[in-house]
Amino acid sequence: MRIVSWNLNGLPSCLKSGAFGPLLEYQPDVICLQEIRTRAEPVVLEGYWHYWNHSVRDKYSGTAMLLREEPLSVYCGLTDDFDVAEGRAITAELQGFYLINAYVPNSQQSFYRHAYRREWDAALQAYVHELLYDKPVIICGDFNVARESIDIYPENIRKRSIIPREG
């Protein structure tokens, strides 16, 4: 099975530019998209089942999953009362495993967002552990992790984007 994960930074611009063309050369079975930044639900690719988890704010975050085969089930979010506003996770139950597509929040420089990120990480971990009781889990997506300063572009935001490692 071929799974592709891609942070689009905006689905509308990718559709307009034809950016999906080269992706099809890989003949993916599943395409996980992050940061779709739209509330529209266009048919991105014929022959794929399309599932969406939108942010309540237009042009902000959101995830989508395109699958060649119909999944057994699809769930948006991590829990019923967490991550409902930003559309950051979508899970497909497939025959032999669960596939989670995650767009993990960026901590930014705000203490509020950093605290939210920590809550989000804990919720994701608990969610994965819950699913593992049933079958294996594959997680893909944009984890908003910069291991080293070289991982951040452009250079002028490197210093403010790296949070010291927590003990």
Is the Cα dihedral 75, 77, 81, 87 positive or negative? Answer: negative
CA distance 155 to 126: 35
Residue 85 parent element (H or E) = none
Active-site residue, 142 included: yes
For residue 51, the cross-strand partners are: 65
Other C-beta atoms closer than 10 Å to the C-beta of 130 total: 13
Radius of gyration of the chain (CA): 16
Active-site residue, 103 included: yes
Catalytic residue among 75, 98, 103, 127, which? 103
Catalytic residue among 29, 142, 151, 153, which? 142
Active site residues: 103, 142
